[in-house]
Amino acid sequence: MSNNNDIGYFHQNIFSYFKGCEVPTAGWDVIYRNADGIQMPDGDIVHTIYVEMKNKHNTMNSASSAKTYIKMQGQILEDDDCACLLVEAIAKKSQNIKWSTKVDGKNVQHRLIRRVSMDQFYAILTGEEDAFYKMCMALPWVIDSVVNEEGGVEVPCDTVIDELRKVASLYGDENSEVSMAMAVYMLGFNTYMGFGDKMRDELGEDKDGMLKRIYAYVKRFPICDKGKK
């Protein structure tokens, strides 16, 4: 739970450094404004996006889904120049679709209330399809640099990381934490923009032995010039 909370904090607060984004203390997780307009998939152009952010696609039950949807409906009724997005860091796949859910037992959806994977949200904000991929590729080097700074962060014992390290060690001679992080990215985000293309280019379409080949691939990332790859 502690790991989940920290990851959620990162995914939300990094947007305070994106042009046009605000991370409010209450109400919405992120608000994005663009005076030039934001093109929506169904052809609408809006100037504000209100975001509710979740770590994973299965973290909301039916009651919380209905409550969130009603909140988004209310925002669109109040401001007809906006869209509302449920953004998921780990979605089932890369997507930007109308969010279909149930409210009072009825199926509801609206073209301006959308369910969006994190890679697609980064693309909306930056105009770059592989922006989330680029951030993920830089992140392990940044974490490694911060952790290893003199008098820096003390890394607690983490059983999740220990288990991941054991799995990663089955597929390579090196026990590289950075390589392990890359392997986790490739497995978790294989349909996301940037990740999927890279995997297909390097590994092909065949899924047989995918984990072993992913780990072999990410071990080739250079350790020098951290963050510049």
* Cα distance between residue 3 and residue 159, in whole Å: 11
Burial-class residue 91 by CB neighbours within 10 Å (0-12, 13-18, 19+).
buried
Strands 82-90 and 45-56: what pairing? parallel
* Tokens of residue 41, six digits: 């998939």
What own/partner pairs with CB < 8 Å and gap ≥ 24 does 37-40 have? 38/83, 38/124, 40/83, 40/111, 40/112, 40/114
Q: Distances from the Cα of 92 to the Cαs of 1, 114, 206, in angstroms?
A: 21, 15, 20
Given this model, what pLDDT does residue 220 score? 56
* Tokens of residue 27, six digits: 């109400």
Given this model, what pLDDT does residue 7 score? 78
The low-confidence residues of the chain, meaning pLDDT below 70, are 1, 3, 57, 150-188, 190-191, 193-229
Given this model, what pLDDT does residue 153 score? 62
No. of helices (H) and no. of strands (E), the chain: 8, 8
Beta pairing partners, 45: 39
pTM above 0.75, yes or no: no
pLDDT tens-place string over residues 5-28: 777 788 888 999 999 999 999 999
Given this model, what pLDDT does residue 163 score? 59
Question: Cα dihedral sign for 170, 172, 174, 178?
Answer: negative
Amino acid, res. 13 = N
Given this model, what pLDDT does residue 187 score? 61
